Amino acid sequence: MKTAIIGAGAMGCLFGAHLARAGVDVTLIDIDADEVATLRARGVRLHQDGRVSDVAVAALTDPAEAGPADLVIVFVKAHQTRSVLPGLPPLLGPETRVLTLQNGLGAADVLAEAVPPDRLLVGVTAQGATQLGRGEVRHGGRGETLLGPYRPGPDRFAQRAAAMLTGAGLPARAVADPWPPVWKKLAVNCAINPVTALTGIRNGPVAAWDPARELAADAAREAAAVARAEGVDLGDPEDLVGFVTAVARATAENRSSMGQDVDRRAPTEIEFICGAVVRRGEARGVPTPVNRTLWRLIRTLELGYRTAAPIPEDAHGQVHDS
């Protein structure tokens, strides 16, 4: 299955290295020319199980050079999704499927502007990776990848894609309806990510420290209430809270992806995480005060580090997003 991966960040490199090692015809595509040059010269430097190996991969900046693929996996940050749309057409043949494994909720809807919905797959992955440098990643937590059609129903291509990932050492399963797992992961992300990003802690204390655990639990309960209002049943909210705590424990040593973004003073995925819960909640009349507060705090943090000039004394906090 000829595969193109858009976005050679931590997850793109992790998946690209596994697929290449398994003999899949895979190309990593990234707009960062230095990243691509490093990948072409050395491959992905993968830290895994106490070993470091360099895995040769094809890498390009220009999607047109790759030509049509059978499967395109989108792994850019959720807020960068719109920027990949102009590069998609050369990758799309008549049967190409596009799979988003991005965090949050909303990236698939952006992709659906450029990809026919019946050729769009949506998924979540519990694989974890930390970017250590250009083209260099550490494989963190392992877990299953679930994928299914944007418009729920049985999908044989999703089964083939899941089999390919599983064969490459990334256990995956096709599901008829990907939206419950997407909402479950969203609940985890809106609980763990902003709490860790705002406080500088790793994931572990979200499970271990009462105030952090209670704040995360409240954010997850709100996400479950909005999901239910949208017709997605995530089961008993307290089981979901237990799941969030278990994920924080299982990834105790990790800094969440949003924590890593904030550490690098880079834009975060907050609009697609707490922002998505707030907007969907508003549309369904479900109050989401905790997610709204976390959303506002992260946006304030981003504005703070994106505003290079000192804030004038009379600004009264009126810093405008650019």
Catalytic residues: 185
Give the number of residues in contact with ligand PAF, rule: CB under 6 A. Answer: 12
Instruction: Considering the complex, state which of residue 48 and residue 193 has its C-beta at the smaller distance from ligand PAF.
Output: 193
What minimum distance in Å lies between the beta carbon of 141 and ligand PAF? 7
What minimum distance in Å lies between the beta carbon of 203 and ligand PAF? 5
Window contacting ligand PAF (CB under 6 A); options: 145-153, 158-166, 184-192, 219-227: 184-192
28: which 2 tokens? 């990593």
The interface with ligand PAF within residues 248-277 (CB under 6 A) comprises 251, 254, 256-257
What minimum distance in Å lies between the beta carbon of 251 and ligand PAF? 4
145 scored as a contact of ligand PAF (CB under 6 A): no
What minimum distance in Å lies between the beta carbon of 202 and ligand PAF? 9
203 scored as a contact of ligand PAF (CB under 6 A): yes
How far is the CA of 106 from the CAs of 100, 174, 238, in angstroms? 10, 20, 25
Give the one residue of 4, 66, 73, 247 binding ligand PAF; rule: CB under 6 A.
247
Window contacting ligand PAF (CB under 6 A); options: 82-90, 169-177, 211-219, 246-254: 246-254
Interacting residues of 145 by C-beta distance below 8 A, sequence separation 6+: 101, 123, 124, 125, 126, 127, 162, 165, 170, 171, 172, 173
Window contacting ligand PAF (CB under 6 A); options: 50-58, 109-117, 188-196, 217-225: 188-196
Window contacting ligand PAF (CB under 6 A); options: 9-17, 38-46, 247-255, 306-314: 247-255
Residue appearing with tokens 């895995």: 55
131 scored as a contact of ligand PAF (CB under 6 A): no
Give the one residue of 24, 92, 110, 188 binding ligand PAF; rule: CB under 6 A.
188
Helix (H/G/I), strand (E/B), else coil: 120: strand
Q: How many residues does the chain have?
A: 322
Instruction: Considering the complex, state which of residue 189 and residue 245 has its C-beta at the smaller distance from ligand PAF.
Output: 189
The interface with ligand PAF within residues 61-120 (CB under 6 A) comprises 103
What minimum distance in Å lies between the beta carbon of 255 and ligand PAF? 7
What minimum distance in Å lies between the beta carbon of 244 and ligand PAF? 9
Which positions touch ligand PAF (CB under 6 A)? 103, 128, 188-189, 192-193, 203, 247, 251, 254, 256-257
